């Protein structure tokens, strides 16, 4: 294949990875199933990594202007639009893991065989790495589809599978080197315009999601309490971070005008936050604690997604993450973890801290630079956060939650499992979020 032929093919692979990245990201917020929410966070990032590698490679091949934002063929667009518009998790997973990703896999493999391994060695290497990521995604996807759909349900989607196959065929396959067919099939799910759903949803293991009856930061910074007891609050805080991918996904979906580098870097951060949530889950699991008994609040992602613009949400995110950097933030959490004697708490907080340092850098690159200077960028973030209505009292009046204090039960349970006597002061902890937000700043009467 000539340079021109390689570039044309690589651009189509890039288009697929980029679109897959968008589809995964767009579903994180509204997908209730926790395992899918975290997997989409992971797979969105893997696709972003591959898209970036392909962009770099195309840029090396005598190409400017690169034309990487162009749609290579309406057939490819129809296939991805159909999957984007899939009406439920089952159809979405079939479209992603049973159609688009296997086709992409095949095309990467074909490319590797077709191109000259000496002349085009950098692309060969790139496709080998891409195949590793795609295979990881497919391994998960097969299990997900088995878990989600009965054979009957899966067979019922055969007509739609055929539509997707025909769309790709019409484009001459992903490579564009197959025989093109002229007639584009009629759209099914994508016949109506697609809309992003900004309202976070959770599965049945999550309950009492408006509960603000326990303020873990107040416990964490209270010198009366032991590091061992504080690890429970640390694991809770990590697990609650599942609201960050739910919120960050909305920034990405609603910022199509931002350069690719923004989307790539923010996707990395988004996946890190999903990992932090999983660290909390694993931490509880290792202690033998059933985390599903604890209400995992989601009002942060709900309120930010429905009350602020994408730019304002990014400002709040940066303000919060910047606040995690001083002595009282991530280093302190790691020190608590180290002193607790819970090895996983120490390890997870160590990596959590490292990730947050990266996130603060990304924030300076993609948020502060557009703003001018750090101080006004921070002040704006603080103002945006204050603007978010905290409806602690209203939630209770509306019957959305009783703000039950779930801490004593969790604490008693943990002490029983560990075989240690409870500390009476810790057991009596009852500070809430009624008047104090997560950075321990007083909430003003207006909001
Ligand atoms: Fe985090
Ligand atoms: Fe972060």
**What's the pLDDT tens digit per position in 205-253?**
999 999 999 999 999 999 999 999 999 999 999 999 999 999 999 999 9
In order of 5, 161, 392, 393, the CA distances from 434 in angstroms are 62, 51, 6, 7
Q: How far is the CA of 270 from the centre of ligand 2 (A)?
A: 8
Rounded to the nearest whole angstrom, what is the distance from the C-alpha of residue 347 to the centroid of ligand 1?
Answer: 14
- Contact by Cβ (8 Å): 200, 305: yes
Name, in order, each residue with C-beta under 8 angstroms of 155's C-beta and a sequence gap of 6 or more. Answer: none
d(CA 23, CA 46): 13
pLDDT in tens, 98-144: 999 999 999 999 999 999 999 999 999 999 999 999 999 999 999 99
Nearest to 47 by CA among 342, 237, 260: 260
User: What's the pLDDT score for residue 165?
Assistant: 96
- Cis before 65? omega within 30: yes
CA of 322 to the centre of ligand 1 (A): 12
Cα(172) to centroid(ligand 1), Å: 43
Q: How far apart are the first and last CA of the chain?
A: 62
The DSSP code sequence of 407-447 is: HHHHHHHHHHHHT-PPPHHHHT----SSSB-TTSPBPPTT-
Contacts with 95 (C-beta within 8 Å, 6 or more apart), sequence order: 82, 83, 86, 160, 164
Task: Report which of 134, 157, 13, 155 is spatially closest to residue 83, judged by C-alpha positions.
Answer: 157
| CA 369 vs CA 203, 316, 374: distances in Å | 38, 15, 8
Question: Which residues 6+ apart lie within 8 Å of 382 measured at CB?
Answer: 319
Residue 440 predicted with pLDDT over 80 = no
pLDDT digits (tens, 9 = 90+) for 160-180: 999 999 999 999 999 999 988
Distance 351 CA to ligand 1 centre (A): 10
More confident residue, 329 or 333: 333
Measure 355 CA to ligand 2 centroid, in angstroms: 7
The listed range with the strongest mean pLDDT (58-67, 254-263, 431-440) is: 254-263
Mean predicted lDDT score pLDDT of the chain: 94
Range 301-330 average pLDDT: 89
Q: Are 271 and 47 in contact (CB under 8 A)?
A: no
How high is the pLDDT of residue 218? 93
Residue 155 has pLDDT above 90, yes or no: no
Mean pLDDT to the nearest integer, 346-371: 94
Question: What is the structure's pLDDT at 443?
Answer: 57
Ligand 2 ion local residues (Cβ < 5 A): 356, 359
C-alpha 69 to ligand 2 mean position (Å): 29
DSSP string, 214-280: --HHHHHT-TTS-HHHHHHHHHHHHHHTTHHHHHHHHHHHT-TTS-HHHHHHHHHHHHHHHHHHHHH
Distance 357 CA to ligand 1 centre (A): 10
Separation of CA 122 and ligand 1 centre (Å): 35
Q: How many whole angstroms from 280 Cα to the centroid of ligand 1?
A: 11
Looking at residue 355, its pLDDT comes to 95
Whether pLDDT at 299 is above 50: yes
- What DSSP letter does each residue of 57-125 carry, written as one string? HHHTSS-SS--TTS-S-HHHHHHHHHHHT-SSHHHHHIIIIIIIHHHHHHHHHHHHHHS-TTTTHHHHH
Q: Say what percent of the chain tops pLDDT 90.
A: 86
Best CA proximity match to 314, nearest among 378, 261, 229, 259:
378
Which ligand is the nearest neighbour of the Cα of 276?
1
pLDDT tens, position by position, 362-398: 999 999 998 889 999 999 999 999 888 778 899 999 9
Q: What's the 273 CA to ligand 1 centre distance in angstroms?
A: 4
Please state which of the four CATH numbers 2.70.170.10, 1.20.1260.10, 2.70.150.10, 2.60.40.2480 is assigned to the domain occupying 3-183.
Answer: 1.20.1260.10
Is residue 323 predicted with pLDDT exceeding 80? no
pLDDT at 219: 96
Confidence of residue 445 (pLDDT cuts 50, 70, 90): very low
Whether the pLDDT of residue 53 is over 80: the answer is yes
Judged against a pLDDT cut of 90, whether residue 190 lies above it is answered with: yes
Distance 195 CA to ligand 2 centre (A): 27
Give the pLDDT band of residue 349 (cuts 50, 70, 90).
very high
The burial class, CB within 10 Å (0-12 / 13-18 / 19+), for 60 is: exposed
pLDDT at 446: 34
180 SS3 class: coil
Q: Which ligand is nearest to the CA of 248?
A: 2
Ligand 1 geometric centre to CA of 275 (Å): 8
Q: If you measure from the C-alpha of residue 217 to the centroid of ligand 2, how many angstroms do you get, rounded to a whole number?
A: 16
pLDDT score of 444 more than 60: no
Contact 141, 96 (CB under 8 A): yes
Task: Report the pLDDT value the prediction gives residue 342, as an integer from 0 to 100.
Answer: 93
Question: Residue 444 C-alpha to ligand 1 middle, in angstroms?
Answer: 26
């Amino acid at each position: 294949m000539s340079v021109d032929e390689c570039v044309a093919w690589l651009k189509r692979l890039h288009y697929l990875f980029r679109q897959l990245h968008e589809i995964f990201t767009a579903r994180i917020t509204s997908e209730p199933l926790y395992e899918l929410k975290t997997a989409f966070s992971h797979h969105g990032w893997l696709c972003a990594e591959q898209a970036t590698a392909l962009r770099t490679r195309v840029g090396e091949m005598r190409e400017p202007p690169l034309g990487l934002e162009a749609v290579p063929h309406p057939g490819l667009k129809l296939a991805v639009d159909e999957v984007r518009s899939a009406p439920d998790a089952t159809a979405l997973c079939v479209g992603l893991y049973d159609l688009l990703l296997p086709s992409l896999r095949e095309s990467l493999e074909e490319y590797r065989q077709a191109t000259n391994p000496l002349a085009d060695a950098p692309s060969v290497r790139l496709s080998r790495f891409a195949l590793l990521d795609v295979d990881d995604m497919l391994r998960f996807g097969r299990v997900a589809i088995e878990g989600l759909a009965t054979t009957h349900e899966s067979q019922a989607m055969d007509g739609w599978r055929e539509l997707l196959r025909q769309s790709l065929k019409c484009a001459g396959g992903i490579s564009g080197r197959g025989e093109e067919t002229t007639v584009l099939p009629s759209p099914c799910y994508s016949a109506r315009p697609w809309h992003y759903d900004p309202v976070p949803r959770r599965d049945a293991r999550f309950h009492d999601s408006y509960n603000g009856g326990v303020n873990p930061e107040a416990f964490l910074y209270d010198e009366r309490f032991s590091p061992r007891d504080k690890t429970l609050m640390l694991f809770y805080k990590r697990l609650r971070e599942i609201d960050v991918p739910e919120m960050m996904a909305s920034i990405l979906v609603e910022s199509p005008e931002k350069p690719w580098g923004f989307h790539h870097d923010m996707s990395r951060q988004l996946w890190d936050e999903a990992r932090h949530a999983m660290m909390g889950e694993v931490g509880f699991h290792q202690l033998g604690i059933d985390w599903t008994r604890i209400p995992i609040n989601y009002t942060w992602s709900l309120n930010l997604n429905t009350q602020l613009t994408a730019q304002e949400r990014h400002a709040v995110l940066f303000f919060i993450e910047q606040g995690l950097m001083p002595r009282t933030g991530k280093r302190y959490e790691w020190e608590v973890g180290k002193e607790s004697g819970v090895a996983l708490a120490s390890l997870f907080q160590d990596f959590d801290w490292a990730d947050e340092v990266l996130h603060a850098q990304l924030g300076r690159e993609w948020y502060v630079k557009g703003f001018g200077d750090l101080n006004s960028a921070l002040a704006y973030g603080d103002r945006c956060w204050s603007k978010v209505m905290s409806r602690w009292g209203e939630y209770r009046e509306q019957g959305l939650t009783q703000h039950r204090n779930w801490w004593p039960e969790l604490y008693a349970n943990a002490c029983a499992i560990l075989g240690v006597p409870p500390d009476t002061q810790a057991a009596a902890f009852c500070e809430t979020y009624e008047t104090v937000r997560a950075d321990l700043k007083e909430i003003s009467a207006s909001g």
